[in-house]
């Protein structure tokens, strides 16, 4: 991608550079037909490890096949703003590593990381007892190391953020699990990879607290019928129960191993 502005704070390359163009371009339509060796209602296996960032109050690293991201929680710490606030503030920042996508992302912030940050914020904000942290800020930082589908990235980000919050010992109503779905025609596929999501008519991302069987965030985009969207949510919610078990297990084993 072209670097539009010269940045004195970084080592700069040429003014313009472009992603290589390949003679054999693969067809975007093929994305839906590609085989992954998993069923339509199966999600990618999750590797979740809390407590990898030693400097943070709580942290988690999540890997679902090619989606890899790290999340750290700092806080509750004193708010920078001088205005008094009865409730704590939750601040979510997402950063894509420049090499995390097929095309290089210039290090300047673009719109996509904010969109992901807002989606993750919405997913987890209602699970945290913010009324217990007056005048404080809880910072949740996420670095995307490798991205395979923005839907999966938001879902994984929410899972990692909730696990990191629990690892930091911040009081919550429940762990937030999240799952995404892609719809094309009548077919629903859970946890679509980037190519599947690109070929889908629409996508749904659901975040919920399985322990309280309540939903914290639903994000739907594209063209999906009402029945389709409801069906997606149902399937996602079922899968979130499994995700919740993975999160609880990883937290439990990290506690027992560190004592």
Partner 1 sequence: MSVVPDEKKPTPTNQVQSDELRAQIFQRLHPHAYLDRFLVEGVRPDGRTPEEWRDAFINVGSVSTADGSALVRIGGTTIVCGVKAEIAEPELDTPDQGFLVPNIDLPAICSPKFKPGPPSEEAQVLSERLNAALVSTQLLPLTTLCIEPGRSVWCLYVDATCINYDGNAFDAALLAMVAALRNTTLPVATYNEETGRTTCRSRTTRHPLSLNRDKLITGLSFGVVPTPSVPLDPTAFEEPLLIRAFSVVVDVQGRVVFVEGGVCGKSGTDYDGDEGSTLIEKSIQAAQERAKILHQLLQ
CA angle (252, 234, 66) in 5-degree steps:
55
Residue with smaller CB distance to partner 1, 113 or 242 = 113
Scanning residues 40 to 59, which ones bind partner 1 (CB under 8 A)? 52-56
Min separation Cβ 97 and partner 1, Å:
5
Binding status of residue 197 toward partner 1 by CB under 8 A? no
CB 239 within 8 A of CB 155: no
Residue 146's Cα: distance from chain center in Å?
12
List the one residue from 44, 68, 89, 239 that touches partner 1 (CB under 8 A).
Answer: 68
Question: Which candidate, 36, 37, 61, places its Cα nearest to that of 49?
Answer: 61
| Whole-number Cα distances in Å, 200 to 149, 175, 188, 189, 190 | 12, 29, 9, 9, 11
* Maximum Cα interatomic distance, the chain, rounded to a whole number of Å: 59
Distances (CA, A) of 131 to 3, 37, 135: 43, 45, 10
- Answer yes or no whether residue 9 interacts with partner 1 by CB under 8 A: yes
Q: Is 145 in the site for partner 1 (CB under 8 A)?
A: yes
For residues 94 to 133, the per-residue mask of contacts with partner 1, x marking binding by CB under 8 A and - elsewhere, is -x-xxxxxx-x--x--------------------------
Task: Pick the closer one to partner 1 by CB: 32 or 141.
Answer: 141
93, 112, 201, 242: residue in contact with partner 1 (rule CB under 8 A):
93
Residues that bind partner 1 (CB under 8 A): 1, 9-14, 16-24, 52-56, 66, 68, 70-72, 74, 93, 95, 97-102, 104, 107, 139, 141-143, 145-148
């Amino acid at each position: 991608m072209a670097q539009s502005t010269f940045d004195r704070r970084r080592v700069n390359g040429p003014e313009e550079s472009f992603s290589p163009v390949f003679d054999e371009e693969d067809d975007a339509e093929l994305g839906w037909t590609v085989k992954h060796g998993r069923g339509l209602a199966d999600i990618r296996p999750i590797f979740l490890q809390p407590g990898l960032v030693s400097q943070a109050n709580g942290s988690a690293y999540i890997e679902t096949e090619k989606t890899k991201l790290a999340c750290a929680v700092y806080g509750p710490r004193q708010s920078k703003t001088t205005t008094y606030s009865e409730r704590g503030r939750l601040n979510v920042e997402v950063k894509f590593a420049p090499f995390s996508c097929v095309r290089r992302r210039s290090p300047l912030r673009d719109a996509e990381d904010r969109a992901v940050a807002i989606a993750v914020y919405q997913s987890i904000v209602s699970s945290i007892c913010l009324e217990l942290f007056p005048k404080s800020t809880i910072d949740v930082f996420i670095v995307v190391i490798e991205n395979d589908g923005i839907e999966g990235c938001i879902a994984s980000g929410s899972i990692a953020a909730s696990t990191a919050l629990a690892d930091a010992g911040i009081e919550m109503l429940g762990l937030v699990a999240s799952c995404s779905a892609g719809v094309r025609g009548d077919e629903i596929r859970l946890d679509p990879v980037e190519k599947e999501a690109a070929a889908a008519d629409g996508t749904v991302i659901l975040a919920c607290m399985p322990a309280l069987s309540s939903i914290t965030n639903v994000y739907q985009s594209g063209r999906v019928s009402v029945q389709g969207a409801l069906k997606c949510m149902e399937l996602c919610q079922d899968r979130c129960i499994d995700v919740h078990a993975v999160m609880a297990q990883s937290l439990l084993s990290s506690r027992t191993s560190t004592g």
